Structure 1
Amino acid sequence: MKKIVLGSTSPFRKEILNKLKIHFICDKPNIDETALPNESALQLVERLAIEKAQAVAKHHDNALVIGSDQVALCDEHILGKPHTKENAIKQLMSFSGKRVTFYTGLCVLDSDSGKSHSLVEPFHVYFKTLSKADVARYVDAEMPLNCAGSFKSEGLGICLFEKLAGDDPNSLVGLPLIKLIHLFEKHGFHVLQAIEQRE
């Protein structure tokens, strides 16, 4: 049976993949994540997911390697990390009453054959009408200064939302499990069978 390698050192992606109860290891992909000229957000995340899987696959034989990348957009602008409290408050206030869309690029690559399958999964976050006082309280409480969009959906960020819309809530944290299972199956790997074999 092929080993599973998560091409990421994100503790959040690791936690999500643990839900599948399969054995896997993590490896850090070292790639240049700069966008290409005229590259759309969707093209960017799919390309980076593929390149991350390819970079990690070089170090592992007989493996299915997962590559993933995510970008968030509001009003067609890619959201960056705020780095300061002032920027976080300003960024969150700009989302008031609006929709932010997360696009997660996902790739599963067979390290032996080089064959890969990839896709982009969208997920939408609708923000409440926000007050500056509440936003400031949120930023003080969670300090989301290294999070694109200035919020953590898995934490108190949920207080800022009107609703969420998408096929898989795991997508919001960066690893859409429903689509991952589909990509595994394209490579002949079945999660429930793998669990049974381990037992």
Structure 2
Amino acid sequence: MKNIILASSSPRRKELLKRYNLDFEIIASQIEERVLPYEEPVQVVMTLAFQKADDIAKRINKDAIVIAADTVVYLDSILGKPKDEEDAFHMLGSLSGKEHLVITGLALIDTSIGKKIVDYETTKVKFRELTPEKIRSYISTGEYKDKAGAYGIQGYGDILVEYIIGPYSNVVGLPIAKLDKLLEKHFCMKIL
């Protein structure tokens, strides 16, 4: 089996991959994530995932499959990571009682042959109606930090969600079934 490199410092992505006893190395990408206002969310996540994978592929000196991902929350516009508690409060308030999309771009590069695959996954998430008190209570956990859309479904954020349609692992940040499908189809590898 080829070496696998996860181009991410995300503890959530690391935990998702570790579940499958996959032997992989983590090398975080150092790209500056820039989003232009006119870009569609699918274009954004696929571009950023590719830039992360390409950054690592160019920096390493070994044969490997580099896996990178980028996730956004989309409701009328892209909701990035909140700057502070007030920003998180406004984001969560805007999601209250509504459906939004969680979109993850995936990029895989085989450094030995230069093969590059880019794809994406989408999950629809519906939030409960949230009172200002419920939002403040969630923010007080600190979990909103460094999370697209200011929540983490795998933690306390689960209480905010009424339902999801699509892959749960995508909302966490790494669509495992899609990744397995891409590895199998394009690189003759399986996660499980």
Question: Does TM-score exceed 0.5, indicating one fold?
Answer: yes
Shift of 1:37: 6.4
- Mapped contact 2:143–2:152 kept (Cα < 8 A): no
**Partner amino acid for 2:65?**
L
Closer, same or farther: CA 143–95 of 1 in aligned 2, 3 Å: same
Structure 1 residue 114 displacement after superposition: 1.0
Q: Is 1:69 aligned to residue 75 of structure 2?
A: no
Match in the other structure for 1:90: 90
* Alpha-carbon contact 1:80-1:149 (below 8 Å) kept: yes
Q: Measured at CA, do residues 147 and 38 of structure 1 come closer, stay the same or move farther in structure 2, by a change above 3 Å?
A: same
For structure 1, the residue ranges without an aligned partner over 5 or more in a row are 193-199
Query: Aligned pair 1:124/2:120, yes or no?
Result: no
Structure 2 residue runs of 5 or longer lacking an equivalent are none
Distance 1:83 1:33 in 2: 15
Using the alignment, how far apart are the partners of 2:84 and 2:178 within structure 1? Answer: 34
Partner in structure 2 of residue 170 of structure 1: 169
Q: Tell me, what secondary structure is at the counterpart of 1:191?
A: coil
TM-score, normalised with respect to structure 2: 0.92
Deviates more, 1:133-142 or 1:114-123: 133-142
Q: Which amino acid aligns with 1:131?
A: T
Letter in 2 for 1:3: N
Bigger drift between 47-56 and 144-153 goes to 144-153
SS at the partner of 1:66?
Answer: strand
CA distance in 2, matches of 1:79, 1:43: 15
Higher Cα radius of gyration: 1
Instruction: Determine helix, strand or coil for the equivalent of 1:15.
Output: helix
Tell me if structure 2 keeps the 8 A contact 1:142–1:156: no
**1:17-37 deviation line (CA, Å, top 9, x unaligned):** 111211000001122321246
Number of aligned residue pairs: 190
Amino acid at match of 2:125: V
**Structure 1 Cα separation of the partners of residues 137 and 36 of structure 2:** 37
